[in-house]
Structure 1
């Protein structure tokens, strides 16, 4: 059997990039459906083939991680694309994306789009927010206000983070993921959509996930979405997905402190002193309440750190 990686799943076919660099069209063995297993883009697999159009996906190797929305596995880096306006920059949505990446041990990169059309006032407001995320330790790419970047300049900004990695572009619909990727590689011709004026969010324009070679790695363009539901994470795991809350939480009086109503909470003290941004703590509490009010589900990922 040969070994490769699934780079596209479409209409029941799985397209596998072999270690030799060839692309094979395959169908999954019937046992996967029987066992309720769905191969994902990003899976490392074993396969057999007669021709490059007639192959069989035989076995899936253990996954490093997997995302359900978008459905992709073995991701190293997640680029969260946030627009500076139209749709408006949302720290709430950004934090939901960051929590998803942190929980799955995926390195986040924040990329801000539409800075070329932003007013100076809006740009300075978003710059302050970006500096807060950089202080936490996140990589933030904020192009200069009023400047249209060339493809080469975008490459220079992203290559150090994406080279030799499998990456996903995710974030708010209408934020410009497909536009950004098209500028990075003009052969992609990914469909783009304008932001819906009535809903304030973009139309979903990307119909399937595909890994494409770019910047020395593999990059997926993924369907945009405006909300992430936390179906597995529990209240003890959530603090680990906010790096600054996790660090300050080590100094709490109670080891099981979830930084909500407990006394002698180092996290709340850090918020009061300005060491933790108030908006981050507010978003944390909102997600914590969502997790606590979620209907019970069986199964748990277990300790992460």
Structure 2
């Protein structure tokens, strides 16, 4: 592009103020023509803002950000050069940048964390007669009800283990349970229902969520925990518990890597998790992991159980590389 010419991807707002990123591929000035220059700019007119920022480059292979330049809390004045941060045009040596994994197929991602510190304001004086209301503890009480089994009126048998439960709680949280326990189905008149094809530990975790709206506390065995989350997603889909299903997807998408992406993608396809499916395919297409991926056990399972997932991933990879 030439020295002094920049790209700006658009305006964003933080703390009620407009900001933009400036990227100079060939440096901001003649003294920085062998560097790339990156700035955060305050766009508001006639204003001063107390803020800090952290400018990062995202590794296109791992998708992890690396901080390159931090600006501590200071005044940004829209009327002078202090509206820019950092106060240097030597962001990174261009040859080092071009050889790094921050740049792949002419794509780079700049991540910027902006923190705006507003001036303190006096709040309304509290009346001495105010009474503080404690936070909600309904989940605790329902959890105690589950543990004590007091008033339980139905027994659920899972994998040879029996669980005491309350019909009204199961029905309130799952339309499938509601149809079983209060509809015309056979279980509606029974005090005992049996669930097939589910592990007792998975049902116990689902029961904990039904009563408390929380997942049970996990131990330090991360792999075992992720396997439980996968089983819980299947159970949530089976019993139409949408919030639990989204919660499991949220956890799984944070642990995607070469070893897990195939099994997670197959799970997303089988249980109609569209956003999780898109995240998995995006990881495959943007992370140059296909060679390593085909060597994993999960890939062989994916190829057998969900060939359509691979077709979509390969098609997207092909389109991406043409961009």
Does TM, normalized by the shorter one, top 0.5? Answer: no
Higher RCO (CA < 8 A, seq sep 6+): 1
Structure with the greater alpha carbon radius of gyration: 2
Q: Which has the higher helix share?
A: 2
Give TM-score, length-normalised by structure 1. Answer: 0.22
Give TM-score, length-normalised by structure 2. Answer: 0.21
